[in-house]
Amino acid sequence: MTERVALIGSGNWGSAVAKIIGRNVRRFDHFDNKVKMWVFEEKVNGQNLTEIINTKHENVKYLPGIQLPSNIVACPDLLETCRDATMLVFVVPHQFVTSICKQLKGRIPDNCKAISLIKGIDVNADGFRLITDMIQESLGVPTCVLSGANIANEVAEEKFCETTIGYRNRADGELFREIFHTPTFRVNIVPDVVGVELCGALKNIVAIGGGLVDGLKLGDNTKAAIIRIGLYEMRKFSQMFYADVKDETFFESCGVADLITTCAGGRNRKVAEAHVTTGKSFDQLEQEMLNGQKLQGTSTAQDMYNILSKKNLCHEFPLMTTIYKICYEGLPPIRIVEDI
């Protein structure tokens, strides 16, 4: 059977993985060589972004300077992108997943499977849902997750790194590994979707803490302490709500490695540092610094706080609670080391 891959999303990370997938599908006989990529249509210098990608083979807005393979075909129509796909790769901000799934419901092949590259959780009145569960429940397709220490520009420049795929069905994990694994993007697959996914969402909160430490010029020992406490709280939260999350997952790329890289680089750290040095709000800095991208750490901190406060658990997660209060309640940043 020929597998057909469709990419849902074309931002910075989406474009970086498009480069990998476009090359990899050509290496195997069981993949269709054409990979459609859904692009939210916008104008760049008066020209449609899809036209630019399909003629220049470069996403000039979100991943400038990186050539995309010619078999990546940008498409502004979501249904057209996914209509005959057997493998869906979700790589959009988590706020858009619900509306995308609504549009796709009943419109994709029965033998389809999906993978989420989205770092976030969906919070509602009853608590929270994992993005993989949202996709799986609304589309009726088995869903894996990919997460790791993967700053998009470095991946696109083919600097060596690792990533983790969490699977429920090993055959799906192995199939998705084929479209992602390269000598410079090393993929390990593990039977723990929930653990991989929660690591990817929760580490963005800790990265805000890392940026606050940098802005306060507290040094490397303090940063290391925040990372350690952050990893501890990530594991504690994951296993409190999902008993079968495995300890080993936190030692994969999706766990400790992603936490380190996000606290060293990445947008959450950068904006949190600027919050300390400029005194500006996170909302204002997001607009000024991120070229239209979303800051995930603050919204995930708010989501987490809502969950923990409803269950009266804030005292058990002092780091995540303090980061929330600095982001949303005007708590002075120095409290990051005083209240934990």
Residues tagged active-site? 203
Nearest Cα neighbor of 9 from 46, 35, 34 is 35
Long-range contacts of 291-297 (CB under 8 A, 24+ apart): 291/61, 291/62, 293/11, 293/12, 293/267, 294/93, 294/95, 295/267, 295/268, 295/271, 296/93, 296/94, 296/119, 296/120, 296/201, 296/204, 296/268, 297/204, 297/205, 297/207, 297/208, 297/268, 297/272, 297/323
Contacts of 190 (CB under 8 A, 6+ apart): 164, 165, 166, 167, 196, 246, 248, 249, 252
Structure tokens at 336: 């990051």
- Counting every residue, how long is the chain? 340
Which residue reads 């300077």 in tokens?
Answer: 65
What number of CA atoms fall less than 13 Å from residue 194's CA on the CB side? 14
Q: Which candidate, 254, 294, 208, places its Cα nearest to that of 9?
A: 294
- Report the side by side order of strands in the sheet with 35-38: 72-75, 35-38, 5-8, 87-90, 113-116, 143-147, 161-166, 185-190
Question: What is the rounded end-to-end Cα distance, in angstroms, of the chain?
Answer: 54
Place of tokens 């040094």: 219
> Helix, strand or coil for residue 129?
strand
- Among 41, 35, 142, 20, which Cα is nearest to 82's? 35
